[in-house]
Chains A and B, each alone.
Chain A
């Protein structure tokens, strides 16, 4: 059955159900390595601090991840297509500020949410159109959108926090279902659906072809422009969704929210197996990357390392992860010898 397919395969190298073969590939996959590292760090922190693996601590960490995790799906898609989206942090803020402002103005909750999400879709669509129609590269386009979305958030709110929102709105971000915070359930749902679709949906699979070799994808009858347009729209939508949920959790719309988030998410995706060259990466890998970095940061806090060191640790982890990958690839190439000329 489909559900027996191991969760750690990547579309590029889908493992076979033959157990030994599958296990070998599993161990080679980036996700598996990350899971092992995450478990090791968790156990180590538990032994050292004695209070890492507690429900409140894990709950707090997961809540901290939740909104970022939602954006992982969009960023994985963007990276797999051979681009990236630098505007997610700002669109996150813009989505939040939009929904907060709408609620503040007394609009009904569903309509306000729709406005917040719509703003994200529009931002993503503009990114996509600029990249596919005007042929401006993703770096410049999304860097521009990063400024535009942030600026718009600040302009709408005149730089202040939007508070005084209706209580009923907070059920999404603060409520619990079966003792599990709703926010975590939503994020987990999006991650799992996203991961499944990136692996199995014939529509989203085209993203890997586009990122793998754009010209070959075009000649194979894949509508490269439409795929890219879809990718950036998806990313914008998910960033706004994360922003909308964040307002529900923190009860205010903050135009400065999500600053620097884009780089954190790109880093997590790359640690999780994405490549800036495109063509590979999984959503679940990105989540593991996020958890991995989060665990390290949380551990540093528990170990009472000053908070300033967190960014440094993140930087080192990113370079080590990518460095290790490059190194192992070159080693593989060399061991294959000078066959190709």
Chain B
């Protein structure tokens, strides 16, 4: 069955029905508006050619900083084991949306969310969901490289230790596999107990990735992870993304359109808080459906 057109941005890919794939999802739309509280049958997005099952489904998301609306009725479906990129000019809300996915915006004074975000069919904004548990499932790598002022080992073991893993042997193993997962093991294995702030910028960012991997998340959010790095470090992290997506789902915000084109399977273009277009990366960059997307990706503004 079709989702009513009015719930979707006209530019957004229309979600098609296919009984075989359909997944029943409970959608609690706009809790402020009881009229819209309906059960809707939904299913995975239309990118059937490349898609796995949906990992994250965002429905009718509105986000406010006080009185300023930062996101306007965003709907999108992020498929599992894919790299999804958010692009758009500064202030378009892409980082805000990313930070909504692990509820990091909860901490911002005056922030307000309307709509639902489903992670594995469960609304992460339900009151009974524990945000700290959620964040172990949805890890994050930040724009500003932020290893803690501790040793490399302590940085990576930080997450597991929070989950009350105390045995040294287990922690050692987690540290090793996580660092290997982030492609950093060979470079730091001899200085695991040196201060992490002594590493180079690129190494620090990969350490942050390893740190996020150590809690074994299902989704990894990356907020412009390469904006402070040189091209070689950037290249290494991009390579890493290709291997990482076999293990988990990656959502990456980037200012760099070439990067989005290189690393992502799907790309969403945001403008002034709206999701203008969301489609296969190839399509966005070669044959966008919306003229504004075209203007942006061809460098006419932004």
* A and B associate in one complex: no
